[in-house]
């Protein structure tokens, strides 16, 4: 009976317990180790008496173990203020409800800009999501020892440089929240590539995004990001063939799109848009929702999509967004209008999709020689084998016609 109970309490409340301990101890490693100690103690003691509030029990024991560890490390003199604070903070608590939800602080600390991006991602996945170092290493295709080292360094920097364990002040919040959302998005996209199609990682990213959106209900971009992830995820099974070849949006089997995810994504997007402050994630989700609504390219509202890309270009200008805008304009107003925009894009001359898009538009304008040259350039630049196969196929089709 005891082992499953301890395991269940740990699984369900791990992030909240860790967040509370990190907050009072100011030290990730100490918080993790003392929480492990507390669970080990629970495995021994709970057979006799199961506490009324297992979470409060675990936190109290973890606090005591942390103090023991500090004493043993002979750091108690130096750290006395921390230890004192720990005592008073916990003695006042009788239940988890009173401990409060420190998970948001934990997320902001894990995604702190003073940490390297890969460390933010790894730490968030470990501390907030609860993946092991091994699981994270496999998802990000790095050696486990490298990943473990990255985690240790990040945790020690948080302690030694005293990185804030609080939710940032209001005037810093927009930028810091954007940083948190970027980490969530990066975790999702890591599970959304041809080489690493990882539904589990995508699910965790969506769950994490939902946690942030729930904890920050007044931030429409957080909700917008969840909508975007759900809408992307709804198409995941149709994006590649069994061999890993790219299937263009136009050729995807829309019957296989996940309708439940689309419905949830659209519902969340509508909720976010009601705030009247559409940011990059909401706009990208709105574009994805337009595609999700259509039964095929023919009845897609390309003018609406071109308008959304123009808005996106205004709030977060980038040559890649400009390229997508040009594609939508080409669909709405014809290939000549699209090509005119493509020719004006600067800064992504080595991006294979720029040349693939030019090739496609030139082909549609009846300029096969130029189209073939552009496909060849795209093929030269594409790094991903699936992209290369796709472009080679296009070139062959063009030569054959």
DSSP 159-179: HHTT---SPPPGGGHHHHHHH
Side-chain-facing half-sphere of 278: CA atoms under 13 Å: 20
To another protein, the closest distance from the beta carbon of 150 in angstroms equals 19
319 in Cβ contact with 348 (< 8 Å): yes
To another protein, the closest distance from the beta carbon of 75 in angstroms equals 8
To another protein, the closest distance from the beta carbon of 114 in angstroms equals 6
DSSP 196-225: -B-HHHHHHHHHHHHHHHHH-TT-HHHHHH
Of 84 and 166, CB closest to another protein: 166
Of 3 and 114, CB closest to another protein: 114
Using CA atoms, how far residue 375 sits from 131, 190, 350, 372, in Å, is 42, 27, 13, 5
Of 78 and 380, CB closest to another protein: 78
62 in Cβ contact with 30 (< 8 Å): no
To another protein, the closest distance from the beta carbon of 164 in angstroms equals 4
Tokens of 279: 């940011």
Tokens of 331: 């669909």
Of 82 and 292, CB closest to another protein: 82
To another protein, the closest distance from the beta carbon of 108 in angstroms equals 10
Q: DSSP secondary-structure letter at 193?
A: S
To another protein, the closest distance from the beta carbon of 208 in angstroms equals 22
Residues near another protein (CB under 8 A):
77-78, 114, 160-164, 166, 168, 172
Of 164 and 252, CB closest to another protein: 164
Of 85 and 248, CB closest to another protein: 85
């Amino acid at each position: 009976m005891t082992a499953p109970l301890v395991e269940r309490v740990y699984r369900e409340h791990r992030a909240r317990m860790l967040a509370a301990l990190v907050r009072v101890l100011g030290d990730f490693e100490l918080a993790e180790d003392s929480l492990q100690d507390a669970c080990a103690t629970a495995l021994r003691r709970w057979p006799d008496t199961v506490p009324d509030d297992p979470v409060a029990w675990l936190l109290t024991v973890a606090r005591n173990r942390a103090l023991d560890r500090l004493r043993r490390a002979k750091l108690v003199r130096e750290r006395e203020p921390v230890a004192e604070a720990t005592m008073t903070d916990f003695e006042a608590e009788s239940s988890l409800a009173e401990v409060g939800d420190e998970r948001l602080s934990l997320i902001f600390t894990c995604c702190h800009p003073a940490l390297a991006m890969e460390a933010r991602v790894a730490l968030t996945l470990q501390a907030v999501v609860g993946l092991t170092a091994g699981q994270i290493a496999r998802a990000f295709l790095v050696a486990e020892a490298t990943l473990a080292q990255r985690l240790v360094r990040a945790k020690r920097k948080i302690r030694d440089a005293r990185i804030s364990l609080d939710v940032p002040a209001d005037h810093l919040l927009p930028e810091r929240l954007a940083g948190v959302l970027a980490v969530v998005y990066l975790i999702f996209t890591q599970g959304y590539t041809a080489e690493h199609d990882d539904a589990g990682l995508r699910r965790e990213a969506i769950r994490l995004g939902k946690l942030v959106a729930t904890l920050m209900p007044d931030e429409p971009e957080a909700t917008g990001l969840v909508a975007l992830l759900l809408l992307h995820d709804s198409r995941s099974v149709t994006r590649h063939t069994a061999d890993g070849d790219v299937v263009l949006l136009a050729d995807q089997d829309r019957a296989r799109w996940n309708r439940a995810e689309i419905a949830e994504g659209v519902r969340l997007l509508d909720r976010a848009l009601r705030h009247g402050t559409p940011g990059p994630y909401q706009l990208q989700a709105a574009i994805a929702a337009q595609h999700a609504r259509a039964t095929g390219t023919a009845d897609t509202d390309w003018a609406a999509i071109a308008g959304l890309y123009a808005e996106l270009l205004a709030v977060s200008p980038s040559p890649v967004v400009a390229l997508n805008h040009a594609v939508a304009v080409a669909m709405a107003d014809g290939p000549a209008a699209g090509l005119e925009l493509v020719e004006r894009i600067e800064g992504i001359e080595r991006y294979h999709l720029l040349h693939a898009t030019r090739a496609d538009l030139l082909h549609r304008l009846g300029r096969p020689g130029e189209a073939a040259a552009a496909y060849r350039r795209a093929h030269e630049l594409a790094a991903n084998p699936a992209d290369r196969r796709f472009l080679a196929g296009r070139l062959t089709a063009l030569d054959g016609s």
